[in-house]
């Protein structure tokens, strides 16, 4: 790695020598020449508007307004209200150095038109679709006064206990890298210029936030450099290569240093090795949290964060509060402050804010371009392709003429459809599963069927805990007003009068996302009781699973007739789910996270390594091999898995040559045939395995995929061109190398059911 870093740093230096200054550099030189030090530090400060989308009023005694007037605020986040932001912008322009604000927002999966949650989106394996969904989000956000979105979240996660697994693209670094690029292109476009409907991305959380020990949010990360370079960093890197404009540092530590002050992560890797030239903002209050990490007081941690490469402080007031003092004491230099200030001004310049500070603040666009029927149609189209059929004994697709009992606490829950981080949603307006089914079929009955949990306190926490964390004195509406047994009895009675039951269970909105780790990832007890009672009726039961994480579904897999994992699908959820249930759309989603059999298997991921005493995934317990006494090693549903209403048959893998010189190329192919009665989409996946290498390697690593569409009966040859680039990894000396020798090239419909050929790479 060192060599690569030095080489790219030297190249950058050479490139900058003797080059005429760009217009941007000249402009910012001029601006900074006129700014006071206090104003420069002010640019490094980001505050929350405090209202999240709700119509805020600009009041002179508001803390943010006072800071703005004093030239102490570079950006604001948390509002998508054009009128409010226009007023703040006006104050920014008449105060301090008159520099426009950058306006950020957590636009995570859509804006007012809510798209499927990111984990769902990733199961489409469709980069064009992801870019399309993101484009809609960019258009809506930019029409709402927002020019900077806190997305994409690209943290790799191998542990479903972590609630924020829902915000990312799963466990695989290669797929994660492709998806990261699709997001950046969707938000920022494919060129350097920002059109007024394109917004600056903020790639987060840099870095390794998803590797929190035991899946507990904000927890320590304990990984080595080789492991992070091979298993975790690629999505962050690919986002930088795609031109991402900013990064957000993460809450966790790495190598004993909080990420927010980690110069290896921010400087050596991101800037020097990958050439990122935008700015880095801390996560909310992450600077002041370094005090609790045990590093020092606010002055100390602020100085160290700036020096390590952090440019903007979100909500800690560490920079505006202490940098002047640190400068006086020689802990930071003017150069450190100038560097950070310049990066933020550059972003504002690139966004066109100096040319027109109101560029993103057009009330007409806000009225015309947000939450439109056209955008909702995209949300429905996208959502259809983000559902994973986990089991089907033939009951699906349903007939629209069937008598259908729709039951379960998530059947009529609009907020569960919108999912986590959807603060700009139109509350209560997401189409529920019940509504979607009713819109499609005439004979539908409904019963809630169960509470979420048997425990009342848990029910309250899940329903109202988030709001109560902001307002501890908030009165809580009564929960468990009907006993679980009575709710179940109603559902069972409907089931008995129906041809089929659609049971809508899983996780509601606040059971995943930030600060929502779970140690038990099964279907909550009250809902599991409902499923057992439904099973006892003998009627066919289709589980529609709303969730933001993999769950343990061993009982459901053995006892239910079908399981459709729909995650949280957004504004058009119910319609898109009905499209799939009734076969108007053929499901094509494939898992991007492993579904374990038991929580005790976690962390569980397909690209694990062998041990010296390997044990086959589904073989029974054997003493002195690497396995458990009480559960097999293998997952319930592997990475890449997902069924369709049709069947696909794969030929053997063919290589255009059995050996490849290290600077050569080879093509690996399979022929895929749709052997069923319906047209369908299939994601063909290519994995590699380096049989002998100088460092240990995973048993399988994804290195290519293609999503194809085949008519019933149609077959197609699918080719993957491979070169040494696809076979490289970071060895134990952190060199990125392809080592000659034999590689297994595996192709299949998921990470488990692959066919292989051996490719020999020669010097
Ligand atoms: C989250 C970030 C988010 C930020 C601003 C933090 O708590 O970790 O993902 O962007 O808040 O809302």
Tally the residues of the chain.
763
Query: Rounded CA gap, 295 and 487, in Å?
Result: 52
Atom 11, ligand 1: which residue's CA is nearest? 284
Instruction: Please state the three-class secondary structure of 155-212 as a single string.
Output: CCCCCCCCHHHHHCCCCCHHHHHHHHHHHHHHHHCCCCCCCCCCCEEEEEEECCHHHC
Whether the pLDDT of residue 54 is over 80: the answer is: no
Pocket of ligand 1 (CB under 6 A): 106, 150, 204, 283-284, 514
pLDDT value of position 529: 98
Range 17-35 average pLDDT: 92
Tell me, in angstroms, the distance from the centre of ligand 1 to residue 514's CA.
Answer: 8
- Strand boundaries in 316-412, DSSP class E: 388-392, 404-407
Percent share of the chain, pLDDT over 70: 97
Query: Rounded CA gap, 159 and 109, in Å?
Result: 21
The mean pLDDT of the chain is 96
What tens digit of pLDDT does each residue of 270-294 get?
999 999 999 999 999 999 999 999 9
Query: Rounded CA gap, 685 and 752, in Å?
Result: 11
In this structure, the strands spanning 701-710 and 680-690 are: antiparallel
pLDDT value of position 220: 98
Whether the pLDDT of residue 13 is over 60: the answer is: no
What tens digit of pLDDT does each residue of 680-727 get?
999 999 999 999 999 999 999 999 999 999 999 999 999 999 999 999
Whether the pLDDT of residue 53 is over 70: the answer is: no
3-state SS class at 636: coil
Range 177-188 average pLDDT: 98
Q: Are 269 and 734 in contact (CB under 8 A)?
A: no
Is the model's pTM score more than 0.95?
Answer: yes
What tens digit of pLDDT does each residue of 310-332 get?
999 999 999 999 999 999 999 99
What tens digit of pLDDT does each residue of 492-508 get?
999 999 999 999 999 99
* Pocket mutation for ligand 1, best pick of 284, 286, 470 (most atoms within 8 Å of C-beta): 284
Query: Rounded CA gap, 755 and 336, in Å?
Result: 54
Exactly one of 106, 283, 413, 726 is catalytic; name it: 283
H or E element, residue 132: helix 127-143
Tell me, in angstroms, the distance from the centre of ligand 1 to residue 523's CA.
Answer: 27
* Pocket mutation for ligand 1, best pick of 155, 167, 514, 515 (most atoms within 8 Å of C-beta): 514
3-state SS class at 565: strand
- Strand boundaries in 207-268, DSSP class E: 246-249, 253-254, 257-258
Question: Residue 181 half-sphere exposure, CB side, CA atoms within 13 Å?
Answer: 16
pLDDT value of position 470: 81
Boundaries of every domain in the chain = 36-105+333-365, 380-581, 648-762
Query: Rounded CA gap, 239 and 242, in Å?
Result: 5
Tell me, in angstroms, the distance from the centre of ligand 1 to residue 288's CA.
Answer: 15
Range 509-521 average pLDDT: 97
The position carrying tokens 């990111």 is: 118
> Which value, in Å, is the radius of gyration of the alpha carbons in the chain?
26
Categorize the per-residue pLDDT at 474 as very low, low, confident or very high, splitting at 50, 70 and 90: confident
Range 261-268 average pLDDT: 98
Query: Helix axis angle, 373-384 relative to 573-581, nearest 10°?
Result: 40
Whether the pLDDT of residue 180 is over 60: the answer is: yes
Percent share of the chain, pLDDT over 90: 94
For the chain, the straight-line distance linking the first and the last C-alpha, in angstroms and rounded, comes to 22
- Count Cβ atoms below 10 Å from residue 474 Cβ, excluding itself: 11
* Pocket mutation for ligand 1, best pick of 106, 424, 513 (most atoms within 8 Å of C-beta): 106
Q: Which of 39, 42, 43, 47 is CA-nearest to residue 314?
A: 47
Structure tokens at 295: 């590093």
Query: Rounded CA gap, 644 and 627, in Å?
Result: 32
CA 486 to chain centre: 39
Q: Is 283 a catalytic residue?
A: yes
Query: Rounded CA gap, 462 and 516, in Å?
Result: 9
Strand partners, 685: 705, 748
Query: Rounded CA gap, 66 and 72, in Å?
Result: 9
H or E element, residue 710: strand 701-710
Categorize the per-residue pLDDT at 5 as very low, low, confident or very high, splitting at 50, 70 and 90: very low
pLDDT value of position 17: 57
Atom 7, ligand 1: which residue's CA is nearest? 284
Atom 6, ligand 1: which residue's CA is nearest? 284
Tell me, in angstroms, the distance from the centre of ligand 1 to residue 74's CA.
Answer: 18
What tens digit of pLDDT does each residue of 371-424 get?
999 999 999 999 999 999 999 999 999 999 999 999 999 999 999 999 999 999
Q: Which atom of ligand 1 is nearest to the CA of 250?
A: 8
Tell me, in angstroms, the distance from the centre of ligand 1 to residue 105's CA.
Answer: 9
In this structure, what are the phi and psi dihedrals at residue 404, rounded to the nearest 5 degrees?
A: -115, 125
Q: Prior bond to 732 cis, omega within 30?
A: no
Tell me, in angstroms, the distance from the centre of ligand 1 to residue 640's CA.
Answer: 29
Tell me, in angstroms, the distance from the centre of ligand 1 to residue 88's CA.
Answer: 22
Q: Which of 744, 761, 728, 752 is CA-nearest to residue 653?
A: 744
pLDDT value of position 4: 40
Q: Which atom of ligand 1 is nearest to the CA of 150?
A: 10
Atom 8, ligand 1: which residue's CA is nearest? 283
pLDDT value of position 2: 36
* CA dihedral sign of residues 523, 528, 531, 536: positive
* Pocket mutation for ligand 1, best pick of 148, 219, 251, 283 (most atoms within 8 Å of C-beta): 283
For 367, residues 6+ apart whose C-beta sits below 8 A from its C-beta are none
Structure tokens at 139: 């258009």
Q: Which atom of ligand 1 is nearest to the CA of 205?
A: 9
Q: Which atom of ligand 1 is nearest to the CA of 204?
A: 9
Whether the pLDDT of residue 206 is over 80: the answer is: yes
Q: Which atom of ligand 1 is nearest to the CA of 251?
A: 8
Tell me, in angstroms, the distance from the centre of ligand 1 to residue 186's CA.
Answer: 21
What tens digit of pLDDT does each residue of 336-363 get?
999 999 999 999 999 999 999 999 999 9
For 330, residues 6+ apart whose C-beta sits below 8 A from its C-beta are none
Burial class (CB in 10 A: 0-12, 13-18, 19+), 137: buried
Q: Which of 241, 240, 274, 236 is CA-nearest to residue 254?
A: 236
* Pocket mutation for ligand 1, best pick of 51, 53, 150, 286 (most atoms within 8 Å of C-beta): 150
Tell me, in angstroms, the distance from the centre of ligand 1 to residue 284's CA.
Answer: 6
Query: Rounded CA gap, 131 and 452, in Å?
Result: 35
Categorize the per-residue pLDDT at 7 as very low, low, confident or very high, splitting at 50, 70 and 90: very low
**CB contact burial 712-729 (16+ within 10 A = b; e otherwise):** eeeebebebebebebbbb
Atom 2, ligand 1: which residue's CA is nearest? 283
Q: Which atom of ligand 1 is nearest to the CA of 153?
A: 9
Range 196-206 average pLDDT: 98
Categorize the per-residue pLDDT at 16 as very low, low, confident or very high, splitting at 50, 70 and 90: low
Q: Which atom of ligand 1 is nearest to the CA of 167?
A: 9
Structure tokens at 327: 């400068």
Q: Which of 45, 632, 631, 596 is CA-nearest to residue 314?
A: 45
What CATH class has 380-581? Answer: alpha beta
Topology given in CATH for the domain delimited by 648-762 = Immunoglobulin-like (2.60.40)
Whether the pLDDT of residue 304 is over 70: the answer is: yes
pLDDT value of position 6: 39
Tell me, in angstroms, the distance from the centre of ligand 1 to residue 240's CA.
Answer: 20
Atom 5, ligand 1: which residue's CA is nearest? 284
């Amino acid at each position: 790695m060192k060599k690569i870093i030095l080489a790219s740093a030297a190249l950058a230096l050479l490139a900058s020598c003797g080059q005429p200054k760009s217009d941007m550099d000249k402009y910012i030189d001029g601006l900074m020449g006129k700014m006071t030090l206090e104003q420069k530090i002010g640019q490094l400060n980001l505050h929350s508007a405090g209202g999240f989308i709700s119509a805020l009023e600009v009041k002179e005694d508001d803390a943010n307004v006072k800071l703005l007037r004093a030239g102490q605020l570079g950006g604001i986040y948390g509002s998508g209200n054009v009128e409010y932001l226009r007023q703040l912008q006006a104050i920014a322009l008449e105060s301090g150095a008159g520099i426009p604000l950058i306006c950020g927002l957590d636009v995570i999966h859509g804006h007012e038109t809510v798209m499927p949650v990111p984990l769902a989106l990733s199961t489409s394996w469709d980069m064009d679709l992801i870019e399309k969904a993101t484009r809609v989000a960019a258009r809506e956000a930019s029409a709402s006064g927002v020019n900077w979105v806190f997305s994409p979240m690209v943290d790799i996660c191998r542990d479903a206990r972590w609630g924020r697994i829902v915000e990312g693209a799963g466990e695989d670094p290669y797929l994660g890298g492709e998806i990261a690029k699709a997001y950046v292109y969707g938000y920022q476009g494919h060129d350097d210029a920002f059109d007024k409907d394109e917004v600056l991305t903020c790639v987060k959380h840099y870095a390794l936030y998803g590797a929190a020990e035991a899946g507990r949010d904000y927890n320590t990360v304990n990984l080595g450099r080789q492991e992070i370079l091979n298993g975790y960093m690629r999505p962050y890197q690919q986002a930088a290569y795609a031109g991402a404009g900013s990064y957000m540092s993460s809450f966790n530590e790495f190598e004993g240093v909080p990420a927010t002050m980690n110069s290896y992560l921010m400087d050596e890797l991101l800037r020097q090795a990958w050439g990122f030239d935008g700015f880095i903002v801390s996560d909310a209050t992450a600077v002041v949290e370094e005090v609790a990490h045990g590093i020092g007081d606010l002055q100390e941690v602020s100085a160290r964060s700036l020096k390590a490469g952090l440019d903007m402080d979100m909500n800690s007031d560490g920079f505006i509060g202490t940098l002047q003092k640190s400068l006086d004491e020689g802990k930071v230099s003017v150069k450190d402050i100038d560097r950070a200030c310049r990066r933020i001004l550059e972003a504002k310049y690139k966004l066109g804010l100096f040319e027109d500070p109101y560029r993103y603040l057009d009330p007409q666009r806000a009225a015309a371009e947000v939450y439109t029927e056209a955008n909702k149609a995209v949300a429905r189209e996208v959502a259809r392709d983000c559902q994973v059929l986990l089991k089907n004994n033939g009951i699906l697709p349903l007939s629209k003429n069937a008598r259908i009992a729709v039951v379960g606490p998530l059947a009529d829950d609009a907020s569960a459809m919108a999912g986590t981080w959807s603060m700009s949603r139109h509350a209560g307006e997401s189409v529920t599963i019940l509504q979607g089914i009713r819109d499609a079929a005439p004979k539908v009955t409904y019963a809630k069927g169960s509470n979420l949990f048997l425990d009342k306190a848990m029910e309250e926490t899940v329903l109202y805990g988030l709001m109560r964390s902001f307002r501890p004195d908030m009165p809580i509406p009564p929960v468990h007003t009907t006993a679980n047994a009575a709710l179940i009895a109603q559902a069972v009675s409907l089931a008995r009068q129906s041809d089929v039951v659609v049971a809508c269970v899983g996780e509601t909105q606040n059971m995943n996302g930030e600060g929502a780790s779970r140690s038990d990832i099964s279907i909550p007890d009250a809902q599991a009781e409902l499923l057992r009672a439904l099973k006892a009726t003998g009627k066919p039961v289709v589980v529609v699973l709303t969730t933001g994480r993999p769950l343990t579904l061993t009982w459901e897999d053995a006892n239910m007739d079908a399981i459709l994992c729909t995650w949280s699908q957004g504004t058009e959820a119910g319609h898109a789910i009905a499209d799939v249930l009734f076969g108007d759309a053929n499901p094509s989603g494939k898992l991007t996270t492993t579904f374990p059999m038991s929580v005790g298997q976690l962390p569980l991921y397909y690209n694990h390594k062998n041990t010296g005493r390997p044990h086959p995934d589904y073989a029974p317990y054997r003493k002195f091999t690497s396995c458990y006494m009480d559960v097999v090693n293998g997952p319930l549903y592997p990475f890449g898995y997902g069924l369709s209403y049709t069947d696909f048959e794969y030929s053997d893998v063919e290589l255009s040559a059995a050996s490849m010189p290290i600077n050569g190329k080879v093509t690996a192919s399979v022929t895929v045939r749709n052997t069923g009665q319906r047209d369908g989409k299939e994601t063909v996946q290519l994995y590699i395995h380096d049989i002998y290498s100088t460092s240990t390697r995973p048993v399988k690593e994804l290195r290519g995929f293609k999503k194809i569409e085949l008519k019933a009966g149609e077959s197609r040859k699918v080719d993957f061109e491979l070169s040494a680039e696809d076979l490289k990894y970071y060895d134990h000396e952190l060199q990125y190398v392809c080592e000659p020798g034999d590689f297994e090239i595996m192709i299949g419909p998921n990470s488990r059911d692959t066919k292989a050929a051996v490719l020999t790479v020669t010097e």
